[in-house]
Amino acid sequence: MRLKKITRNTWAMKEYKKNFGYMCMNPECHFGFNPETHHIIPISKGGNDDEGNYIVLCWPCHHKAKRHSRSEEFEVILATWKYYYESLFQSASEGNEIAKEKLKILENGQERFNFRQGFTPKMGQVLY
């Protein structure tokens, strides 16, 4: 029996990282260096290799807490982080000054968000 080779679109992964300013999308990140593109649902477990399944994480956030071997536990969390950052970047690109300021703060590492303080974002809710 021959195994199917898993291929990744490395160009698309690099472009996704670039489009989001090489920022770790983990709102609790205190590192932020060496960003990598992570697949929310691993390709080996049926995930797609496209933007809809990518999230940018710095090296420590990508490799901590067994994100790969326990991927099912992290899918909702990672999707929430992805939605938050993509919404923030979209709002900033449309001229929203609050979103621009929030991105500036995040880029400087002065503030990170804690979703564990009893806050659960709802689908479609603006998170800035």
Per-residue pLDDT band at 49 (split at 50, 70, 90):
very high
Q: Are 75 and 43 in contact (CB under 8 A)?
A: no
Query: What is the chain's alpha carbon radius of gyration, rounded to the nearest angstrom?
Result: 15
Please give the Cα distance from 104 to 63 (Å, whole number).
Answer: 26
CB–CB of 103/89 below 8 Å?
Answer: yes
In angstroms, how far is the first alpha carbon of the chain from the final one? 51
Per-residue pLDDT tens for 5-41? Answer: 567 788 999 999 999 888 889 888 878 778 899 999 8
Residue 34 lies in a domain: yes
Determine how β-strand 54-58 pairs with β-strand 35-39: antiparallel
> What was the pLDDT predicted at 66?
65
In a domain, 69, yes or no: yes
Q: Can you give the residue range of the structural domain that contains 90?
A: 10-107
Q: Answer yes or no: is 114 within a domain.
A: no
- 64 occurs within a structural domain: yes
| Domain assignment present for 2 | no
Asked, for residue 89, whether it belongs to a domain, the answer is yes
Q: Which residues contact 10 (CB under 8 A, 6 or more apart)?
A: none
**Position 80 in a domain:** yes
Tally of domains in the chain: 1
Q: In this structure, is residue 113 part of a structural domain?
A: no
pLDDT digits (tens, 9 = 90+) for 59-110: 888 887 566 667 777 888 889 989 988 998 999 999 999 988 888 877 766 4
